[in-house]
Chains A and B, each alone.
Chain A
Amino acid sequence: MFFPISGVTLDPIALILIGFVIGVLGGFFGVGGSFLTAPALFALGMPMNFVVGTDLAHIVGKSIVAAKTHRVLGNIDLKLAAIMVIGTIAGAETGVQTIESLKKHANLDLVVGMVSIVVFTGISIFCVWESWITLRAKRQQNIAGDAPATTKQDSTAVDAFAKKVQQIKIPPIVGLPHSGIRAISFWAILFVSFVGGIFSGFLGGGAGYIRMPSMVYLLGIPTHIAVGTDLFEIIISASYGTIRHAMNGNVDILIALVMQTGAALGARIGANLTQFFTGPRIRLAFAPLPLLGAIVIAQRLLTGHHL
């Protein structure tokens, strides 16, 4: 099928299938999935300047469907999402502007790329280690005859660290009753979303694979609520990114609309699947995603392609 806005001929079935797969992942893990969509669209023959913008447009639609399902399941903390949007947009702008200015002076792609690979690989290894320890502890609890674990009752092997972050008393202090947090510094939330935004600005996607685990491990948000809230927050930040890219002529909305028909179905399935898994299991299944992000960056550094 010919798409006149970007001037490419693409198979609509392939687009719908890509949308579906990314939709399931996005709904289940609370990520945009750009690290998979971008290489897939590029491989189908889409010009690189259209890949990032079109992907962001499709992420908006997919996240609306997934977030609606998560809202019904009670997985969205609106107050947390509102604070995080500020940090993400500020971080994304800072990331883009800083990188653009530093590119003139140094071999920044290599340095930031290497740092990102180390960080992403570290997150993957940490998620596997932490969720494994937590699952083992829960199994021992069950053997000991304690109450069985429930889907949304969540704990991590590093709860103590999140408690320390919650004890930082830099005003303003906010309460997040929906996430079960009585008091946390506004700046801690802003910092986490700002760092996620910087990665988003540099790598072009939503950077959910940084933000979702950061919300769980650093802020102490239960995994199900981190997934739902991240998706809600992605709607706003990806809408902002879509408008910016579309104004520069980098969005083929027809391709995004076709992809979104598959993504809507996948996102709904992915979001509903979270009911069947406990927090540590979701985190364990999440572990390969940052590693995929690291592989994409490594490929980009080795080949010089801007994926």
Chain B
Amino acid sequence: MNKAPKPFPKKIVVRFIIEMVIYAMLVSVYLGLVFHFLVVWLKDLSMQRPAVYAFVSIILMILQAVALEKLTTILVNLDRRRQG
């Protein structure tokens, strides 16, 4: 809990760029799928059943947040494993 402040490692910048490129590719594919399959359904839902739309919206946001958190964790762990 009470560790001394860590020095900022320089390697972190290079690792960050690699992680970001992989992340950007995966997220682009994911957003492409979301827009292909969900746009019409969400639009109709927001117009016709706003209460259902509200709950679907929050569930979608939570699921995406959990998935992206897992994705970034996996990317960081893969990178650490590669570094040995």
Q: Which A residues are closer than 8 A to B by beta carbons?
A: 4-5, 12, 57-58, 60-62, 64-65, 68-69, 74, 148-153, 239, 242-244, 246-249, 251, 253-254, 256-258, 260-261, 264-265, 268-269, 275-278
Contacts and interface: CB of A to CB of B under 8 A. Distances in A.
A17 to B, nearest CB: 12
B84 interface: no
A20 to B, nearest CB: 10
Contact of A247 (B4, B6, B42, B51): B51
B contacts with A: majority SS: helix
Interface of B: 1-6, 8, 16, 20, 23, 27, 30-31, 34-35, 38-39, 42-43, 46, 50-51, 53-58, 60-62, 64-66, 68-69, 72
Contact of B4 (A150, A246, A248): A150
A7 to B, nearest CB: 10
Contact of A265 (B2, B61, B72): B72
A9 to B, nearest CB: 14
A246 B30 CA distance: 23
Contacts of A257: 31, 34, 60-61, 64
Most chain-A Cβ atoms within 10 A of its Cβ — which of B39, B46, B57, B69? Answer: B57
Contact of A260 (B4, B8, B54, B65): B65
Given A151-B4, A256-B61, A265-B23, A243 B54 contact: yes
A152 B1 contact: yes
